[in-house]
Amino acid sequence: MQISELGERELLKRLQQFGPPGIIGDDGAVLAVPPSQSLVVTTDTLVNGVHFSPQTTSAEDVGWRAVAANLSDLAAMGASPLGITVALALPPETELAWLDGLYQGIAACLNPFATPLVGGDLCRASEISLSITAFGCVTSGIYRRQARVGDAIVVSGVHGASRAGLELLLNDQQWHDLDPQIRENFISAHQRPRPRLDLLEPLQRLKIERIAGMDSSDGLGDAVIQLAHESGVKAKLWGDRLPSPPGLSAMVPPELAQDWVLWGGEDFELVLCLAPEDAQRLLEEVSGLSIIGEMVAGVGVELQLRDRIEILAIQSGFRHF
């Protein structure tokens, strides 16, 4: 069944079921912001054929990833989510099953964080595009420009897994002898990335005074370059400490593995800069974090390898225009 057969009124009713009762129906949604907290807002658009394709992404995964990208931006600001809005443009011949899948994926990613879908807009277009705006609240935020000389660079999780998952989805035949569990891990990292909102509670509990940071959605290398640049310091990374996922070194040669770890992107982990003693306290509190380098006086980013030093520069990466 195509959505044009269902009609607009039924369609809206169907989608409103994904929001909490009572909150949808007015011209806007009303939400409480806890006293003495600030509002944090972030927005992100996915376009069919640009950000996703039917080959590698189911409707559920599109919904999940759009939400994950926005919640990851909130986590990167140190903000707890309050809600999201979804603006959806799509062709009338879109299958209703696709739309249902999209909203199921959105709900699946929101649910663990008890974050409501509080409103949206639905309109006709010749291609599918999806804009999500997420808002959260924060007491003391995390900003890119707050890194200082002497800071430890801490990164959550592993990097390169999402890029490896994409490779497996695009060239399945080539990797038929890969361990099935590793294959599943990589594909899941690509299709169902987890925003690191779980880190906010320990960060708050430890009462760390100053944290610089951002997420690694555009790549770990990109995040470190941005943090150093915005803070006016130089980053030194230790090549042997970069957290690559189990199985990656068995899949591709070391140089390509390093490329995926640094520039693969879409891992949605956090990259944080904080005083070394605070970094130590954080690592004792939370497992799965790594110290990958330090901030020193200067400009740019150096990667210390066994036999040489590489200077990292923004990769051409994914450019829209």
The region of 42-50, 158-166, 242-250, 302-310 touching a second copy under the rule CB under 8 A is 42-50
Site for a second copy in 132-171 (CB under 8 A): 133-136, 138, 141, 143-145
Contact characters 169-208, a second copy, x per CB under 8 A = ----------------------------------------
Identity at 72, one-letter amino acid code? S
143: helix, coil or strand?
strand
Residue 29 interacting with a second copy (CB under 8 A): yes
Residues 97-134 as b or e (16 or more Cβ within 10 Å = b): ebbbbbbebbbebbeebebbbbbbeeeeeeebbbbbbb
CB of 203 to a second copy, least distance (A): 15
User: Dihedral of the CA atoms 234, 235, 239, 241 (nearest 10)?
Assistant: 150
Contact 164, 140 (CB under 8 A): no
CB of 230 to a second copy, least distance (A): 7
Residue 241 interacting with a second copy (CB under 8 A): no
What are the strands, taking DSSP E only, across 141-183?
Answer: 152-156
Site for a second copy in 91-130 (CB under 8 A): 92, 118-127, 129
CB of 265 to a second copy, least distance (A): 14
User: Dihedral of the CA atoms 64, 67, 73, 78 (nearest 10)?
Assistant: -100
CB of 159 to a second copy, least distance (A): 17
Residue 36 interacting with a second copy (CB under 8 A): yes
Residue ranges for the binding site?
27, 42-44, 51, 73, 103, 120-121, 145, 215, 217-218, 266, 318
